[in-house]
Every structure is written in structure tokens, then in C-alpha cells.
Amino acid sequence: MKVVWTRTALAERDAILTFIFQDNPAVAFEMDDRFGDAAATLESLPDRGRPGAIQGTRELSPHPNYRLIYEVSQGRVVILSILHAARQWPPATP
């Protein structure tokens, strides 16, 4: 199964890694590997994550502090968001 990252998820990933990189570049590279490796496992195990807060989504934790939010749709795994575990998902609506 193909794994596809949305623009939103890629932007969130970049922001997380940029923030970490400021304090510790080595950890930022390690975290980037964790995110990529976790997403890659979904190619063969798309149901690996637990059911998500929104029906039809799943959540996978590549690190205790981060969650990948994804859905399996039309033979693909679509990474919808990546966020710190302390952040609310789904986002609150005004």
C-alpha cells in the first residue's frame, strides 16, 4: 500500500523538525527517521495504529511525544497530520 503525506502533514513535520533542530540537530535527524520509518511500516501494516478520534482515522505514535494521524483510503495510507501528543486532535472549531 502506498503512503502519501498531505501538504499539511509535511508542513507540520517540517515545523516540528525545525523547532527541534534549533536545540539539537542530531535529535532532529533521529526524529525525522522515526517519523519516516513509522509511516513506512504502514505500507504493509495499515491497521497498525489505534482507531483515531475522528471516525475513519487511525493514530500511530512514532515517539511518545508525537502522533501520526492517518486514514486508509482507496488503497493508500494518507498521513493527515503529525502533532505533539499534548495538542488537541481534532482541532477545536470556533
Q: What pLDDT, on the 0 to 100 scale, is given for residue 90?
A: 66
- Examine the pLDDT at 88 and tell me if it is beyond 90: no
Q: How many folded domains does the chain comprise?
A: 1
**Within a domain: 72:** yes
**Within a domain: 30:** yes
Mean pLDDT along residues 59-88: 91
**Within a domain: 36:** yes
> What is the number of other CB atoms lying within 10 angstroms of the CB of residue 71?
17
φ/ψ (deg, to 5) at 46: -65, -20
- What domain range is 76 assigned to? 2-84
The pLDDT tens digits of the residues spanning 13-57 come to: 999 999 999 999 999 999 999 999 999 999 999 999 999 988 999
What percent of the chain lies above the pLDDT cut of 90?
Answer: 84
**Within a domain: 14:** yes
What percent of the chain lies above the pLDDT cut of 70?
Answer: 91
**Within a domain: 39:** yes
The C-alpha cell of 76 is what?
493508500
Q: What pLDDT, on the 0 to 100 scale, is given for residue 84?
A: 86
**Within a domain: 89:** no
- Say which CATH number the domain at 12 has: 3.30.2310.20
**Within a domain: 29:** yes
DSSP class per residue in 50-62: EE-SSTTEEEEEE
**Within a domain: 90:** no
